[in-house]
């Protein structure tokens, strides 16, 4: 997809990743619409993106999520892409996580993104892109993050099925599995405290990966190192095979319970409760 002139809705635009993505797309001359939970932050991001159309969303209101997508499409006369950067985490043994917390994680990390992208299906035509950030916890569920890992895995499974459904229509579906990113996401958990984590992926690299998913990604898109020549071809795609995870693996970094903590909180970090 050519970014210049494209019509893109960024959902979760009041968090670190979503807001930076929206601003980056605006700098690349995309026509951006933004959706998020925090009204004040949303106003600021919209202003930075040339007074972009802005829509409030609520993870517990699928109808409100869908209305935001339809509103963005009306404003721009259609949509070429939707990027969902929404999520929230929690820490603690699976047996001790409160049922209300588990429900919250599923609503924010799976059901809300599904509602946003479901509403976008009839509005994005051939050549368009539907993308959502899941995370490397899909590949390696993390102890003391069982419900978060499960919610992201549910979204990933849904994206996989949607991709197969939309392939004949020429619409690409990208599952962006970022590694741990150097933002405050883990520190804003609903409950519990994060383990000691290795250095995270720079936010600029996370944004590059998500942007590349919109440009040429399909299937599972992972972060890889930037090309030495400066070409923006660092993001990869797979349907049945995994690409190198670049900085995300951090084999020598801190481990606990036999699990690489670099595969802990996923890359779309930094949201306030429900926006990355």
Q: What is the pLDDT of residue 244?
A: 26
Give the pLDDT confidence of 84-114 residue by residue, as tens digits: 999 999 999 999 999 999 999 999 999 999 9
For 8, other C-beta atoms within 10 Å of its C-beta total 28
Q: Give the mean pLDDT of the chain.
A: 83
pLDDT at 245 over 50: no
Buried b (16+ CB within 10 A) or exposed e, 39-75: eebbeebbebbeebbbbebebeebebbbbbbebbbeb
217-220: long-range pairs with CB below 8 Å, 24+: 217/129, 217/131, 217/172, 217/174, 217/176, 218/163, 218/172, 218/173, 218/174, 219/163, 219/173, 219/174, 219/175, 220/175, 220/177
pLDDT at 80 over 70: yes
User: Lowest-pLDDT range, 16-25, 176-185, 201-210?
Assistant: 176-185
Q: What is the pLDDT of residue 184?
A: 66
With cut-offs at 50, 70 and 90, classify the pLDDT of residue 276.
low
- Asked whether 66 and 20 are in contact (CB, 8 A), the reply is no
Q: What is the pLDDT of residue 264?
A: 33
CA 234 to chain centre: 17
Q: What is the pLDDT of residue 226?
A: 62
- Asked whether 142 and 259 are in contact (CB, 8 A), the reply is yes
Q: Which residue has the higher pLDDT, 217 or 136?
A: 136
pLDDT at 136 over 80: yes
Q: What is the pLDDT of residue 58?
A: 94
pLDDT at 251 over 90: no
Helix 99-106, helix 146-166: angle, nearest 10: 30
| Residues pairing with 260 in the sheet | 255
pLDDT at 49 over 90: yes
With cut-offs at 50, 70 and 90, classify the pLDDT of residue 271.
very low
Q: Coil, strand, or helix at residue 31?
A: strand
User: Quick one: CA dihedral 29, 31, 37, 42, positive or negative?
Assistant: positive
Q: Coil, strand, or helix at residue 255?
A: strand
Q: Coil, strand, or helix at residue 194?
A: coil
pLDDT at 261 over 80: no
Distance CA 1, CA 216 (A): 6
Distance CA 40, CA 43 (A): 5
Residues of the chain above pLDDT 90, percent: 69
Give the pLDDT confidence of 138-195 residue by residue, as tens digits: 999 999 999 999 999 999 999 999 999 999 999 999 999 998 886 667 777 889 988 8
Q: What is the pLDDT of residue 275?
A: 53
């Amino acid at each position: 997809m050519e970014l210049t002139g494209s019509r893109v809705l960024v959902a979760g635009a009041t968090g670190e990743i979503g807001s930076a993505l929206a601003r980056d797309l605006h700098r690349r001359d995309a026509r951006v619409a933004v959706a998020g939970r925090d009204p004040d932050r949303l106003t600021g991001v919209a202003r930075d993106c040339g007074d972009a159309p802005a829509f409030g969303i609520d993870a517990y209101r699928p109808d409100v999520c869908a209305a935001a997508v339809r509103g963005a499409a009306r404003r721009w006369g259609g949509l070429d892409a939707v990027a969902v950067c929404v999520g929230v985490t929690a820490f603690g043994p699976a047996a001790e996580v409160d049922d209300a917390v588990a429900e919250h994680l599923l609503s924010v990390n799976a059901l809300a993104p599904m509602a946003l992208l479901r509403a976008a299906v009839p509005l994005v035509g051939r050549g368009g892109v539907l993308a959502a950030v899941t995370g490397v916890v899909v590949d390696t569920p993390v102890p003391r993050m069982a419900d978060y890992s499960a919610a992201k895995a549910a979204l990933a499974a849904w994206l996989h099925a949607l991709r197969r459904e939309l392939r004949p229509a020429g619409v690409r579906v990208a599952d962006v599995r970022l590694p741990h990113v150097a933002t405050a996401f883990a520190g804003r958990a609903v409950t519990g405290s994060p383990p000691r984590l290795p250095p995270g992926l720079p936010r600029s690299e996370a944004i590059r990966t998500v942007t590349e998913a919109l440009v040429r990604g399909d299937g599972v898109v992972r972060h890889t190192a930037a090309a030495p020549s400066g070409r923006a071809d660092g993001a990869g795609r797979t349907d049945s095979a995994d690409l190198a995870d670049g900085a995300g693996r951090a084999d020598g970094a801190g481990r606990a319970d036999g699990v690489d903590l670099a595969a802990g909180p996923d890359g779309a970090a930094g949201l306030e409760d429900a926006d990355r």
